[in-house]
Amino acid sequence: MRYPLLSLLPKNLESYVLGKASRLAWPRAFTRVMNAALVKLLKIDMSEAAKRLDDYPSFEDLFTRALKEGARPIQGDLCSPCDSILRYSQPIDRGQGIQAKGLYYPVNELLFAGGPVDKTFRPSWLCSFYLAPHHYHRVHAPFSGFLHSVRYVPGELWPVNDTFVKVVPRLFCRNERVVFELTQKDGGKAYLVMVGALNVGRMKVNAVNFFETNNLSRQFSNRGPKNFPFAHPRNMEIGEELGMFMLGSSVIIVFDDILSKRFPFKRISQGLPIKMGEKLIAPVEKAS
């Protein structure tokens, strides 16, 4: 391991403490100054935010900001679930997903670790997104259809920036994550994975009330995965909000063979910017 000191750091506890601090109601004048400094430092585009900068009472409220209505128009039948850098859009080879050049991980471990494997699911294509701290942090449905279940998989909280993605084996399989089971109305299935990271104090899931990741009880217990199946699949419209990160992290979508044939995916491995709602199958151009 090239980062032995980080290996020893209690990353989950550190992230929990930072998350608690980010939610504290500091004096308004102090919060206003600090939020303004963060916006400048991280180059956050506040022109798209639903509220004025002064209206965010905490750091976390700023990071999890909603956007103005209409800020992210939906394009086509398959769209990006988030504002991010699209790291990879690649076929899955022999059950392995690409993490970085020369580094792979087993897709079934990412999706089903610690639980039963969905033997009807045939993973065929993978899209991997990186959300930097300046990005909009909410995650949305990439297509219309049904939400069947949500699964929480506990784990570590390694950073997911390029430095660590390139050197930490099976990083996405090691980190804490939330897995959404999605199907299209005309058939075909995908799993959308929200992957936690260092300093992501929480991930919230809209479809599961009162559930949040990396909470206080999880600092002192070794609980396994937790499943939230729905008795009846829930209707889901493209662009519907699924959950949010408290800071930047990663999203991975794994498509089955039906969807990979239905949609003309493009191979992408350059790490290109994409916004929530943009066509996921169209070529993405670098920002000028």
249 counts as catalytic: yes
Q: From the candidates 15, 84, 89, 249, which is the catalytic residue?
A: 249
Q: From the candidates 15, 80, 83, 256, which is the catalytic residue?
A: 83
Judge contact between 85 and 130, C-beta under 8 A: yes
User: For position 265, what pLDDT does the model report?
Assistant: 93
Strands 272-274 and 241-245: unpaired
Residue 93 domain flag = yes
188: how many CB neighbours lie within 10 A of its CB? 19
Q: pTM value?
A: 0.88
- The string of DSSP codes covering 134-145 is TS--EEE-SSSE
Does position 202 have pLDDT exceeding 90, yes or no?
no
Is the same domain home to 122 and 44?
no
Residue 200 domain flag = yes
- CA-based angle 126:192:225, to the nearest 5? 120
Residue 279 domain flag = no
| Residues of the chain above pLDDT 70, percent | 83
245: how many CB neighbours lie within 10 A of its CB? 29
Is the same domain home to 53 and 89?
no
Residue 27 domain flag = yes
Does position 205 have pLDDT exceeding 60, yes or no?
yes
Residue 39 domain flag = yes
Residue 72 domain flag = no
Is the same domain home to 103 and 171?
yes
Six-digit token string for 120: 């009807």
Is the same domain home to 40 and 134?
no
3-state secondary structure of 28: helix
Is the same domain home to 126 and 43?
no
E strand or H helix at 16: helix 11-23
Name the residue among 160, 180, 188 with its Cα closest to residue 172: 160
| Number of domains making up the chain | 2
Is the same domain home to 154 and 191?
yes
Tell me the residue range of the domain where 250 lies.
84-274
User: For position 33, what pLDDT does the model report?
Assistant: 87
Residue 92 domain flag = yes
Average pLDDT estimate for 183-198: 94
Average pLDDT estimate for 143-168: 92
Q: Could you tell me the pLDDT band of residue 61, with boundaries at 50, 70 and 90? A: confident
Is the same domain home to 54 and 90?
no
Name the residue among 288, 269, 273 with its Cα closest to residue 136: 273
CA distance 160 to 153: 17
Is the same domain home to 96 and 233?
yes
CA distance 27 to 24: 9
Is the same domain home to 133 and 269?
yes
83 counts as catalytic: yes
Q: Sign of dihedral through CA atoms 69, 286, 142, 184?
A: positive
> Over the stretch 213-256, which tens digit does the pLDDT of each residue have?
665 555 455 578 889 999 999 999 999 999 999 877 899 999 99
Is the same domain home to 89 and 197?
yes
Is the same domain home to 120 and 197?
yes
Does position 260 have pLDDT exceeding 50, yes or no?
yes
Looking up tokens 């009162």 gives: 210
Is the same domain home to 35 and 173?
no
Residue 245 domain flag = yes
